[in-house]
Amino acid sequence: MNLNEVIRIGTRGSELALWQARWVQRILSAQWPGSAMVIEIIKTKGDRILDASLAKRSDKGLFTREIEQALLDGSIDLAVHSLKDLPTELPSGLTIGAVSRREDVRDVFIPRPGNSVRTLLGQPYGATIATGSLRRRSQILSIRPDLVIADIHGNLNTRMKKLEESTWGGMLLARAGVVRLGWEEVIGETLSAETILPAVGQGALGIEIREGDQRVRSFVGVLADSAATQATSAERALLRCLGGGCQVPIGTYGRIETNVLKLDAMVGSLDGTRVVRGTVAGRPEEAEHLGVSLARQLLSKGADRILESIRSSSV
């Protein structure tokens, strides 16, 4: 890396996205003190159409496409994404240069201010719970079919404001984002992964770079975490095999325990009445194979019919 080189880091402009980009900026600056790290904010289609429900958007690149175009045309040198927002099929010419260490992968329940019942399952019969995730919706309804699900979208600040102004019992968010913004005090309960399986790649950052750009690849290598890379490779392979995106009710959790990669996954109907679950375990080096194997297991159990039903209906 040349001294005094300028490295441009592309990101969305939300508070959480900027936190993530600045975290990357700090680590790279410490590793390469002679280079200038410049953050470039890029507005994506997903940022511009927040009046529409995320669940009704079939576009898998809503929060990444404009950033990826800037990467391809050389306007930026690397892009910082929440890995769960990054489609499993990347544009030609781009690749993931590093997957960061993972923050806590679990979801949290945040009760509305003034609601003294701090747990999800402790909410009264017929309570309203807000989430913009079909994955969460399916799993919540599978264990509490009496609950009413309210759709919510927007960045974390927007969602918190909507919760405060609502009559909902509370809402569900990824713990990683809440913790990164320093909002732990609003958490009522952290839900176990057994109760609500997380999204593919939840808690990790994906650093996207140009294919063949060995200079930047070596530069971002300091950000890579091998355990997170293997676990999320299995999760993304599963999602790719199932043909899903972030707006399909698929949950999965990969982790390495005593040198064994364990992978759990679920596919559920939107009303939670049908949920197919499975698990595999094997060598971390076979991460992608394990993800494909579990996807095929779920499909053989009926996940194909659930997914086809969802895709053929209007959400």
Q: Are residues 118 and 181 in the same domain?
A: yes
Which of 190, 216, 235 is a domain's end point?
190
> Is the CB of residue 118 less than 8 Å from the CB of residue 188?
yes
- Domain range for 276 is 225-315
Q: What is residue 56's predicted lDDT score, i.e. its pLDDT?
A: 47
* DSSP state string for 106-139: -EEEEEPTT----SSTTSPTT-EEE-S-HHHHHH
Task: Please determine, for residue 55, whether its predicted confidence score (pLDDT) is greater than 50.
Answer: no
How far apart CA 315 and CA 299 sit, in angstroms, is 21
- Report the pLDDT value the prediction gives residue 146, as an integer from 0 to 100: 98
Q: Is residue 198 part of a domain?
A: no
pLDDT tens track for 74-93: 999 999 999 998 999 999 99
**Number of domains the chain contains:** 3
Residues 74 and 210 in one domain: yes
Residue 49, pLDDT score? 61
List, in order, residues 6 or more apart from 126 with CB less than 8 Å away. 146, 147, 148
Task: For tokens 């289609």, name the residue.
Answer: 45
Buried residues in 282-299 as b, exposed as e (16+ CB within 10 A):
bebebbbebbbbbbbbbb
Q: Which pLDDT band, with edges at 50, 70 and 90, does 315 fall under?
A: very low
In a shared domain, residues 259 and 307: yes
Is 84 in the same domain as 217?
yes
- Per residue in 27-38, pLDDT (tens digit) is 999 998 888 999
Band (2; pLDDT cuts 50, 70, 90): low
pLDDT digits (tens, 9 = 90+) for 247-284: 689 999 999 999 999 999 999 999 999 999 999 999 99
Is residue 197 domain-resident?
Answer: no
Residue 196 lies in a domain: no
Q: Are residues 130 and 2 in the same domain?
A: no
| Segment 178-194, tens digit of pLDDT | 999 999 999 999 999 99
Average pLDDT, rounded, for the chain: 92
Please answer whether residues 150 and 156 qualify as being in contact, where contact means their C-beta atoms are separated by less than 8 angstroms: no
263 assigned to some structural domain: yes
Write the DSSP symbol of residue 301: I
Same domain, 27 and 116: no
Residue 213 and residue 229 in one domain: no
Residue 299: per-residue pLDDT: 97
Are 83 and 60 in the same domain?
A: yes
- What angle, 0 to 180 degrees and rounded to 10, lies between the N-to-C axes of helices 156-164 and 15-31? 150
Share of the chain above pLDDT 90, in %: 83
Residues 243 and 306 in one domain: yes
Q: Does 112 lie in the same domain as 180?
A: yes
Token readout for 162 is 């909507």
Q: Tens digits of per-residue pLDDT, 200-259?
A: 999 999 999 999 999 999 999 999 999 999 999 999 999 999 987 656 899 999 999 999
pLDDT band at 154 (very low <50, low <70, confident <90, very high): confident
Tell me if 199 is assigned to some domain.
Answer: no
The answer on 220 and 307 residing in a single domain is no
> Do both 81 and 113 map to the same domain?
no
Q: Which residues of 193-223 are buried (b: 16+ CB within 10 A; e: fewer)?
A: bebbbbbbbbbbbbbbbbeebeebbebbeeb
| 253 part of a folded domain | yes
Confidence (pTM): 0.92
Return the active site residues: 85
Asked if the structure places residue 146 within a domain, the reply is yes
CATH number where 165 lies: 3.40.190.10
pLDDT over 70 (residue 59): no
We report the CATH number of the domain holding residue 232 as: 3.30.160.40
